[in-house]
Amino acid sequence: MLEYRVRGSSSVGRMSASQAEGRGFESRLPLHPHPPRGVTVRNQLVEISRRFAADNISPGTSGNISVRDPQGRTFWITPSGMDFSQLMETDLVEIDVASGNIISGDRIPSSEVPLHVLTYQRRPDVQGIVHTHSLFATMFSTLNRPIKAVHYQLARVGDEVPLADYATYGTQELADRATNALGLGNAVLLKNHGLLAVGESLGDAYRNALDVEWVAHLYFLGLQIGEPDVLTHEELERIRAQFKDYGQKP
């Protein structure tokens, strides 16, 4: 059985692994949208990496996660090809936002450093980035169709999840195409590859990645039966306004 936190309350529930599958946005490890006092961004990156592994959101060692340093000139990123459940702070690599150069760390950084560098350069509001090969989002990336807002769970991400043209992983071309398609949204599909989600905190970026995966799963299920209805921009705007007052206050 898995433990999960009920959104908006302090109670903890339990469900079987099969029930948990597809729930996406609730799982046994707590998620702090904004780190409590005393928790550094590197602490948070390790915590989210462990949750990334526990949630089984991306196969094997695929995917990568980064967080902007509070002083703003650098970011910390997960190393290449290491088990997310075993990561420690000493495995993280610090990258300069302006040049993309390694500032500190002994490990080889993720192959998607150019994608993270360009995203932080073009989006000063972004503090955290999560890249996954999560199954249903990646499935939509193989089709020429964005993920539509068939549920309000997508509202924080945008009116839909757009699709970037194909480019080989790890290239500057992928970084250019992904950031162009991302625009001012919070997630973008990378064609025949996966998902990039961003947020005003690393916790927000991770929640956005899970929300996209859950809505992609729901949308896929609906498409087996028919053409699901999509929420309008006006309704999504109303929901975004309501979300501002939702949940626990810091």
Distance CA 3, CA 17 (A): 10
Q: Quick one: 78 or 186, whose CB is closer to Zn ion?
A: 78
Q: 24 or 194, CB closer to Zn ion?
A: 194
What minimum distance in Å lies between the beta carbon of 83 and Zn ion? Answer: 16
Site for Zn ion in 190-229 (CB under 5 A): 194
Count of residues that bind Zn ion according to CB under 5 A: 1
DSSP 198: E
Q: Is 12 helix (H, G, I), strand (E, B) or coil?
A: strand
Interface of this chain with Zn ion, residues 178 to 197, rule: CB under 5 A: 194
The closest residue (CB) to Zn ion is: 194
Residues 82, 145 contacting (CB under 8 angstroms):
no
Instruction: Give me the catalytic one of 26, 47, 112, 160.
Output: 112
DSSP letters along 214-231, please? HHHHHHHHHHHHS-----
Scanning residues 52 to 91, which ones bind Zn ion (CB under 5 A)?
A: none
Instruction: Give the position of tokens 């703003």.
Output: 72
Asked if 112 is an active-site residue, the reply is: yes
What's the closest the beta carbon of residue 229 comes to Zn ion, in angstroms?
A: 31
Q: With both helix axes pointing from N to C terminus, report the angle between 113-122 and 172-182 in degrees, rounded to the nearest 10.
A: 40
Q: Indicate which residues carry an active-site annotation.
A: 112
Q: For binding to Zn ion (CB under 5 A), which residues are involved?
A: 194
